[in-house]
Each structure stands twice: as structure tokens, then as C-alpha cells.
Amino acid sequence: MTNQFRILGVSVLLIAFSCSNENLQEQDTEPAESASDTDTDTDIDTDTDSDSDTDECEPVDSGPCAPMDARGSGSCDKGLGTIWNGCECVEIGGCECIGKDCDSISNTVTCRVNHAECLGLQVCGGPDELECDDDSYCDRPPSRIDGFVTGCGSPQASGICEKRSSNCIAELEDTPNCGCDGKFYSSYCETNMAGVEIGNAADEDADCSWLVQSE
């Protein structure tokens, strides 16, 4: 009789242990299903992000807004100038320029003036002396004054109307410079807020009057 009770007790323990293992296996399976759900959500998000690339610029094939045929070649660390790529004005570099439009490479401002209509920009200055709105100033291409290259454009040159800064944060803007009006400014932002082109970097005691050009 005692042996029968022992056998019965062992059987009960085996059944209990088997049930316990089945429960553990079910619990281990649930996180895997949860991870699968997470992967599905990630795929959905990735597909959504890819839709945002549909607004990229598509250059036209002909006309004044068509891309220039000019590109930099070689591994030289030399700036070659600015070209129109069909969407915006970009600087190119290399050892030499290749393409039939290499002779038309210019600086960034001149490129923007030449493609103002493509960019939806307002042209100012020039032979017609076009003016900007009160909240903007005329940003002209750089020119040489007394043999030095400056950020001051020639009064007769065409430029692009650029918005003036509305406020300046001293901690972020601390580059002293001479404005093209012959005045000293403590930061690029302050020069911009005054509606003046930046002539060159300068110390506070610098004489900026030499940058003023006659009309």
C-alpha cells in the first residue's frame, strides 16, 4: 500500500511539472509575437518617410532654367566657382572645369541674379536702379576696391533682394566687420539688420570709410 501511494505521488508531481513547462513555453512565445508587431510598425514608418522625397526639384531639359553643362574634375582642393544645376546655385571644385558652360561660371550672387526668375527672387540695382522693399536690402556680387576683393557690390551692378534680420543674439553673432556704408558693426547680423552689405571682417578700431563707393 505504501508503494502505491509513493507511485501516485510521483505521478502527480510529473503532471504538475509538465503543466508548468507548458505555461513557461507559452510565456516565451508571447514576446516573440510582440517583437513581430514592432517590426511591422517600423516598416510602415519607413514607407511613410520615403513619400517625403517626392517634392524634390526636377530640372527642366531646356530654356533659361536648364542646368549648366559644367562640372569639376580631379581631386584638387580648389574652388572653381558657382554653377546653376537646374534647381539652385551650387559651388563646384576640382582641378579643372569640364563642360561647354565652364566660361559662364560665376559667383553665387551673380548666379542667383542670372536665375532669379527660376528661383522666384526679386532683382535689384542694375541699369534700371531697381529698389527692394523696406524690409529687404540689395545684395550685389562682390567687387574689388583699391585692388582688394570685398563683399561690397558695385553700385551699378544687379543684385538680389534679401530680407533683413529682425533681431540679433549677441552670444551667437560676434563677428565684427566693416559694412559697405563705411560703418563698423559688431556682428554680421547687425550689418544685415541695417540693410547693408558686409564688406570684410575688421577690428573695432578699423577705418571702414574706404569701402564706400560712389554711385
Nearest residue to 93 via CA among 117, 75, 111, 106: 75
**Hunting for cell 551692378 — which residue is that?**
157
Number of domains the chain is built from: 1
pLDDT tens readout for residues 74-116:
999 999 999 999 999 999 999 999 999 999 999 999 999 999 9
Is residue 109 included in any domain, yes or no? yes
With a cut of 50, which residues of the chain have pLDDT below it?
A: 1-54
pLDDT given at position 215? 66
Is residue 49 included in any domain, yes or no? no
Domain extent for 90? 60-120
Distance, CA of 212 to chain centre: 32
Is residue 100 included in any domain, yes or no? yes
Rounded Cα distance between 196 and 112, Å, is 18
pLDDT given at position 55? 58
All residues at 6 or more sequence positions from 190 whose CB lies less than 8 Å from its CB, including other chains: 165, 168, 173
All residues at 6 or more sequence positions from 76 whose CB lies less than 8 Å from its CB, including other chains: 93, 94, 95
pTM of the model: 0.65
pLDDT given at position 54? 41
Is residue 34 included in any domain, yes or no? no
